[in-house]
Amino acid sequence: MSRDDSPPLIAIAHSLFSNRWSRAATLVVAGALQTLTFSPFHLWWLGPVSMLLILLLTLPLPAKKLFFAGLLAGLGLFGSGASWVYISISEFGNTPIPVAVLLTVAFVAVLALFPALAFWFWGKLAKNSAVRRLILFPAIWILGDWLRGWLLTGFPWLYLGTAHTDGPLAGLAPMVGVHGITFWIAASSAAIFATGWLISRQRHTSAGIVAVVALTPWLAAPALNRVDWTDISTEPTSVAAMQGNIPQQIKWDPEFLKDQIVTYLGMTESYWDTDLILWPETAIPIPQDQAGKIIDHIKENLGEESTLITGIPWYGFSERAGGFTYHNSITAIGNGEGIYHKQKLVPFGEYVPLEGILRGLIGFFDLPMSSFTRGPENQAPLIANGTKVMPFICYEVAYPDFLARNAVNSDLLLTISNDGWFGDSVGPLQHLQIARMRALETGRYMIRGTNNGVTAIIDHKGQITSRIPQFERAVLTGEVFTASGNTPYMMTASWPVLTLALILIVFVRERVIPKT
């Protein structure tokens, strides 16, 4: 790319970051800025700033260097935003500190490969043309995000659009989902460069068109956020969610089983007549075939119109698994019915890849209850007092298309979790914000029950109506409202934005635009 033909901002970047070490450090910082857009920081405006910095630093680079540029930005993002896995590996996985550090670094590095590969592909397609790179930038970013959320069960965390639960693009979520929001953030950043370049070449009309197209979603989304895409009932459902705050160290210790059950029964004592009572993930830490007396006691105390939904492991014969197996499950008791088996399992936490090789090497590969089997697809919702409640267990709520597809024709969403694995890190707060985005995308209330926080009620706009603090034993009470109908995003998932990304790639590949 000739410096004389480069956009003015690229020339500035070339002079400011000519030293490779300063450029590398700034790329890491640019990636890390995205972590500050998420909870608990909520600085959504740093998203476009991060994208602009990344573009500023990568557009002047030869195509062959883009892989390492993407890797550095990825290390900044995941090193700052996902390194909380160290807590589960070290503190609760009984892993020596040096090994835990090494595994955490490996985890971050593997995640950073996704933006690295996306940027490599970016360079292969666009070569050294700044115009092509600007057009392809949002498409490449989205495809990298999508691949990361799918390959090898996926890690659908830290999508930049999630920050807009509290940002101006929130109104786009029911239409295009989190990937669509991320696409427009990336496209807007690219448009800033394109606008400046066109103005420098005296192409003011073209610059105006690009600016209007880029700004339209930012201006329209706040108005769209006032649109109700689903019909919300006026009849409230009373809710009581128990946050037991059971220490992770004793969660699976048989000596403390009775104490845990007594804790949840005692917390529920004043709420047996509530419409919907929620206990968190594996609140009953023994398989359902051994918990008959506990379940019978719950049934005896529940009000006639009340349903208690709880996390409980399931053990039994599975045709799909070809024998007897365990599932991480959730079940409805009382004036309700149904059981749901978790489909999206956490690697090493709920199953161990290459189990025959890794089991026994270190404590992290032998965590309690890490031999679950994935549940079948297309499971029916739970029924609670005639309401269709679609449940999701822990990590499942992070998968936008998976949740949207399963939420179709449900009345209410529910998610249970045990974020005790991540201590007092930002991980549980990020998890809560992800749940908020899923409620916003589907136009449905969501009840979130956790062992140690954050337990909350989220409305159909993704806003928290009631919550209790982390690390406290408490009961959350409140009301939710059922929804009917489906948002546009629920009907199409992310296919429109992914298709748009592919169209942009084909557009550039067919050399419709000049090389420089």
Name the β-bridge partners of 414.
391, 447
Look at phi and psi of residue 154 and say left if phi exceeds 0, alpha if psi is from -120 to 50, else beta: left
CA atoms within 13 A on the CB side of 308: 29
CA distances for 88 relative to 197, 241, 281, 421, 433, angstroms: 48, 25, 17, 5, 20
* Element spanning 116, H or E: helix 97-126
Catalytic residues: 281, 342, 394
What is residue 419's DSSP assignment? Answer: G
- Cβ-Cβ contacts under 8 Å for 450 (sequence gap 6 or more): 243, 280, 281, 416, 417, 418, 419, 428
CA distance 448 to 455: 5
If one counts every other C-beta atom within 10 angstroms of the C-beta of residue 29, the result is 15
Beta strands 412-417 and 387-393, pairing class:
parallel
Given a contact cutoff of 8 angstroms between Cβ atoms, the answer to whether 457 and 450 are in contact is: no
Least Cα distance to 142 among 191, 183, 189 occurs for 183
Please compute Rg for the chain using Cα positions: 24
DSSP class per residue in 47-71: HHHHHHHHHHHHTTS-GGGHHHHHH
Say how far apart CA 248 and CA 218 lie, in whole Å.
43
d(CA 508, CA 500): 12
Q: What is the largest CA-CA distance in the chain?
A: 80
Count of alpha carbons within 13 Å of 152, Cβ hemisphere only?
10
In whole angstroms, how far apart are CA 365 and each of 104, 247, 347, 427?
A: 14, 20, 10, 21
SS3 assignment, position 318:
strand
Tokens of 435: 């749940």
Q: Cβ distance 131 to 516 under 8 Å?
A: yes
- The tokens for 37 are 């857009």
115 SS3 class: helix
What is the number of H-type helices and E-type strands within the chain? 16, 13
What amino acid is encoded at 119 in this protein? F
Among residues 78, 76, 75, 54, the alpha carbon closest in space to that of 66 is found at: 54
The count of other CB atoms within 10 Å of the CB of residue 460 is: 22
User: How far apart are the C-alpha atoms of 108 and 102, rounded to whole Å?
Assistant: 10
- Say whether the peptide bond before residue 400 is cis (omega within 30 degrees of 0): no
